[in-house]
Chain A
Amino acid sequence: MTNGRTGADRRSGMPPKKVGNGTKIPKDHIGKKIKNKVNLFSVRAGLDIPFLFIVLVLVSIGLVMLFSSSYAYAYHNYDGDSFYFIKRQAIFAVLGIAGMIAISYFDYHHFHKLTIPVLIGSWILLGIVLVLPATQGVHRWINLGPVSLQPSEIAKFALILWFAHFVSVNFRKMNTFKVGVLPHLFILAVTVGLVFIEPHVSASIILILIAAIMMFVGGVDKKWFIIAFVIVAVAALLFLTLTDHYASDRVAGWLNPFDPPEDVDTWQTQQSLMAIGSGGFFGLGFGQSRQKYLYLPEPQNDFIFAVVCEELGFIGAFLIIILFVLLIWRGITLSLRAKDKFGMLLGIGLTSQVGMQVILNIMVVTNTIPNTGISLPFFSYGGTSLIILLVQMGIVLSISRTSAVERS
């Protein structure tokens, strides 16, 4: 193994990869069985600095932009307290980063055992949220005093964990219907069903997309995806044609945001598009957004990227998108080099969840798809989601400690 290849690499026919001469994968981990006992914080190899760096940069830019986008709204809605959102988000960010670093030392293999408890736990939380009183007409949040918890965030993690665990154990039979499809349909039906009746359409979509990615990577036969795609397409068409004109009006409003049907309110989309357009190439300058002055509703939440586009222009928005691409690229690269399938699948799931959210959020903000509530990772205001997100990044970092990737 002078060139640093592992046996696993050779067997799986992985393309040759370079591992720096100075890099040592801890001996005690190589070839260890998953079921072998490991100490909780036994991981000693360094975490992936580029990934950590990208996360920290995104969190910093996110905080700065959150402050810029929220202060007018906060001033107006929280008795002149311009710092209302940034104060809270900054605390959550600090907590989240601490959590991220901590969890990176935690051997992710312990999550094998936690798979079922986490899944059942997320279902219980999703059940609890349904019986709790609705906030703004929907059952999404469990109020815990100063913070509130979105069980759907837990559900996403639970689903990723479920697939990582199941596939890593049963990867040889994943191409069968009995193992590769059936159990997951059940798990997915329960999770998505509970989220859908909150109602929380966007979270449902993300859950389905996560499941699809995990199953695809996990080796499920392609025909099932084609069948699923056809079913979804037909269902969507039926939904559009059979349900009253509500759905078709929504589509019309999406296609013509500046001239929507009467019963469709596209104000938020209009304001978002004006903000993005106002930015032009170089933007109006940091802090110079005008649309955040109460034109764009809740600019600190799902539509924060519109303010980013307005203030930093195409160039700023593009650089931020590049940062996200690098994050995902790095995250997936780290995962692919994970020393086992569980780590690899967990990393891919967590990373692509971030990718999905970013893509869908910006598509909503740019009206590329119809408006549905998806927050922008690291940017949108929201305490628990930021903490959970950072903890998830911590898990990716934990995986990176075992990953046979060239480190800079």
Chain B
Amino acid sequence: MAKGTTIKMWRRTLIVLIVMVVLGFGLIVVSLIRLQLVDGAELQKAAVDQQLRDTTISAQRGTIYDRNMKPLAQSATVWKVVLAPAYIDKEDETLRRTISTGLAEILELDAEDIYERTEGTSYYDVLKTKVETDVKDRVVQFIEENDLGNAIQLQEDYKRYYPFGSFASTILGFTGTDGQGLAGLEAYYDEYLSGTAGRLVTAKNAVGTDMPFQYEQKVEAQDGYNLVLTIDEVVQHYLEQALEEGIANNQVENGATGIVMNVNTGEIVAMAVKGDYDPNNPFIVADEEERARIAELPEEEQQAATTAALEEQWRNKAVSDTYFPGSVFKMVTLSMALEENVANEETVFTCTGKYVPVQGERAINCHNTSGHGTQTLVEGTMNSCNPFFIYLGQLLGTETFFDYFEAFGFTEKTGIDLPGESQSIYHDEDMTLMDLAVESFGQNFSITPIQMITACAAIANGGYLVQPHVVSQIVDNDGNIIETADTTVKRQVISEETSERVSKILQENATSGTAKNGYVAGYRIAGKTGTSEKIGADGKVGSDDTYIASYCGFAPADDPQYAVLVYFDEPTGSSYYGSAVAGPVFAKIMNEILPYLNVETKYTEDEAGSVGVSAPNVIGKTVSEATNELTNNGLKILVKGSGDTVIAQAPDPGSSVPSGGTVVVYTDEASMNQTVAVPDFTNRSLSDVNYLASQAGLNIKVTGAYNSSAATARTQDYAAGEQVEPGTIITVNFVEEDTVR
């Protein structure tokens, strides 16, 4: 009997061995090659995805400051409440109920909804965002009390606040739910403001606790940079207030915009659009009437109507709207004519009420259809005589006109650091003489308000076209300056001499010409009014009888510093003319901002009479001594109380009182609580206003066209009937109604 291995066994064993090694082990090695070397990266990614919890650390969005470091937009810490149902035992009914009812109560959410979400397998289910810190504290307490550990997590986030509400909203813009800038500076400088979000990557085991070995990578969030604006909060405030008043007084349908610009640096000191919104709630239609109107629409139209209303309120008219500048543009044509020397101040032109610029073409009417008669260039400007400017245009010729048109920046965007700047629409150098005729007085081409004020600044500052800008510096949280906006001079358009000559003519225009409603004593205002026809719904100019009333000017004329443009879209009040609608608003703004901006006053002899004197200090003096002193200064005295000695006075010592004004002196405590009602000055003449004021023991400061005998009081800064302290200075603005465009 064979004992050992037979050849058959030997062979068959070898087959078993080979099958085992080749098929068995071969196959597993192939499997390993496939899994580890071919699909390894993919599988590893799947593994890492489940092992690592990647948490975003929000970066704090930069603050937007005004030029005096007053915060206009800032971010505050809020919290994101995140549910991680993967860590919740689905079998534990009590736990799920505890979580859902507890959180629903704290976060004011639906308990049933949360309960259903605890069923999930996600590690990251956001329950609520923008949770304030006090609510977050309650959530933390809730987590601790119920030992919920990983099931509920809190993440730091930021919320944007605009402390002044709708103030400067069109410039500032707003942010979306994820903190991304959506409009205005928030959008334009989003890259700088947003910063870089950080990441916290931690390795977690399958039950969500950290793995015992060190596996944590933290990339700190880089907070956003801060913007320091050229905007001055005070100037902005004056501008917005004046615009609102102008809208109310003139029943302006379509909002208004105003710009205050430093003519030498291009800094925008204020820019406002009214018909704006609250950036804290940008998605709510701010205009209550519009909101009510939309609510009444059929449901299917509401969405579209709301979208349209929102887009309208977000629109920055100052850079996005284009309009015919109208007669304001005459300052540009005037500059061209003087610079090219095709005319000078003494150039004479006779206006017959209409003018045929090109033989065989239609005649163009002057707004004064009976004609201005023979006038010098200065007078023509003051009359805003259309034929005169058509004449100047024809003297320049299309080519020269267009060269200057281009040089003044009307064919290019200004490059202001705000989103949505529109491109202007114009005739190029191939324009006809008829086109030229109409363009000479500012019609038939569309530009943006920011283009107009930039050209105006060039006329004022010696001929230099500067680039307007809103941000002066970008700084980090440690105060390091990241970027500084320097003044960018694009080119010199006209000579300094021409600039001075035009300024002088415009100053006369604002003193006693058609722009006199913008006059402010002592500040040498230069300005030009404009009334432009809007393109009607049928696409034809003027077909809807809708207008834009504007006023553009600067001060002081002999040393220009600030330019202001105000623009009212569709005034429907007693007047739609630039002089009557925009002029007074311009005057009011200049009157408020120039003293604030420390612009020096200089009074002409004419003005001196109406100019204030410094109130002497009569406190501590006897009533008779006080009377003498005040009379010597050309002031009236009004004694309140029965004492002998003056214990207080209004206006305060050293403050400016209009000449011939009243100083109220108090002789006992009791008398100091008295107030007087402000009279209604509206539509009164200057002498009436002075009389009423002295009767009431109040002082009057006049602005606007008070020198004109036809002017009447239009607005007053204290409302009629309001109780004020005796001696209070009431600013009354005078307007001369006329029909000058």
Contacts and interface: CB of A to CB of B under 8 A. Distances in A.
B542 interface: no
Given A339-B3, A348-B13, A366-B32, A274 B46 contact: yes
B13 A332 contact: yes
Which has the most chain A C-beta neighbours within 10 Å: B32, B35, B203, B211? B35
A339 B4 contact: yes
A352 B24 CA distance: 11
A90 B497 CA distance: 103
Interface stretch (B14-22, B148-156, B409-417): B14-22
A111 B36 CA distance: 44
A151 interface: no
A294 B8 CA distance: 51
B4 A277 contact: no
A317 B35 CA distance: 12
Nearest to B204: A293
Interface string B444-474: 0000000000000000000000000000000
B39 A277 contact: yes
B2 A11 contact: yes
Contact of A318 (B8, B17, B32, B47): B32
A332 B36 contact: no
A275 interface: yes
B50 interface: yes
Contacts of A12: 2, 4-7, 10
Nearest to B38: A277
B36 A280 contact: yes
Interface string A264-285: 0000001001111111110000
B2 A72 contact: no
A313 interface: yes
Interface string A330-357: 0010011111110010001000100110
B43 A290 contact: no
A318 B33 CA distance: 9
Interface in B28-76: 28-29, 31-33, 35-37, 39-44, 46-48, 50-51
Contact of A277 (B3, B13, B25, B35): B35
Contacts of B248: none
Contacts of A313: 36
B427 interface: no
Contact of B44 (A217, A274, A288, A359): A274
B36 A309 contact: yes
Contact of A363 (B13, B28, B215): B28
A328 interface: yes
Contacts of B44: 274, 277-278, 280
B12 A216 contact: yes
Which has the most chain A C-beta neighbours within 10 Å: B17, B25, B28, B43? B28
B9 interface: yes
A355 B24 contact: yes
A3 B47 CA distance: 60
Contact of B31 (A293, A356, A366): A366
A295 interface: yes
Nearest to A222: B12
Contacts of A274: 43-44, 46-47, 50
Contacts of A277: 35-36, 39-44, 46-47
A171 B20 CA distance: 23
The majority secondary structure among interface residues of chain A is helix
Nearest to A295: B206
Contacts of A217: 9, 12-13, 16
A240 B424 CA distance: 76
Nearest to B51: A290
B725 to A, nearest CB: 77
A171 B8 CA distance: 11
B24 A295 contact: no
Interface residues of A, number: 63
B25 to A, nearest CB: 6
A279 B43 CA distance: 9
Contacts of B12: 216-217, 219
A363 B25 CA distance: 9
B32 A294 contact: no
B36 A291 contact: no
A331 to B, nearest CB: 10
Given A276-B36, A293-B206, A14 B4 contact: yes
A325 interface: yes
B670 interface: no
B608 interface: no
B31 A362 contact: yes
A13 interface: yes
B28 A321 contact: yes
B35 A366 contact: yes
B24 A279 contact: no
A6 B2 CA distance: 12
B27 interface: yes
Given A217-B12, A274-B44, A355 B4 contact: no
A325 B35 contact: no
A314 B4 contact: no
Contacts of A8: 2-4
A368 interface: yes
Contacts of A318: 29, 32
Contact of B29 (A6, A72, A321, A356): A321
A328 B17 CA distance: 8
A384 B163 CA distance: 76
B20 A273 contact: no
B5 A14 contact: yes
A259 interface: no
Nearest to A270: B46
Contacts of B207: 76, 294
A171 to B, nearest CB: 7
A50 B10 CA distance: 22
B16 A213 contact: yes
Contacts of B203: 290, 293
B651 to A, nearest CB: 79
Given A294-B206, A314-B33, A359 B13 contact: no
A6 B5 CA distance: 12
A290 B27 CA distance: 26
A291 B47 contact: yes
Contacts of B13: 217, 332, 335-336, 344, 348
B16 A314 contact: no
B212 interface: yes
Given A8-B3, A14-B4, A344 B42 contact: no
B432 interface: no
A314 B36 contact: yes
A312 B7 CA distance: 42
B175 to A, nearest CB: 39
Interface in B560-587: none
B4 to A, nearest CB: 4
A276 B43 CA distance: 8
B205 interface: yes
A254 B83 CA distance: 33
A324 interface: yes
A299 to B, nearest CB: 11
Nearest to B15: A216
Given A12-B2, A368-B31, A332 B43 contact: no
Contact of B51 (A281, A295, A340, A363): A295
A194 to B, nearest CB: 26
B642 to A, nearest CB: 92
A13 B31 contact: no
Which 3 pairs, one residue from A and one from B, show the smallest C-beta to C-beta distance? A277-B43, A293-B205, A359-B24
17 contacts: A171-B9, A213-B16, A217-B12, A258-B46, A273-B35, A276-B35, A277-B36, A280-B37, A281-B36, A281-B37, A295-B51, A309-B32, A314-B32, A314-B33, A329-B17, A340-B3, A367-B31
Given A213-B16, A338-B5, A363-B27, 17 more contacts: A11-B2, A12-B2, A217-B16, A274-B43, A277-B42, A279-B36, A280-B44, A314-B37, A321-B29, A325-B25, A336-B10, A336-B13, A339-B3, A341-B9, A352-B20, A359-B27, A363-B28
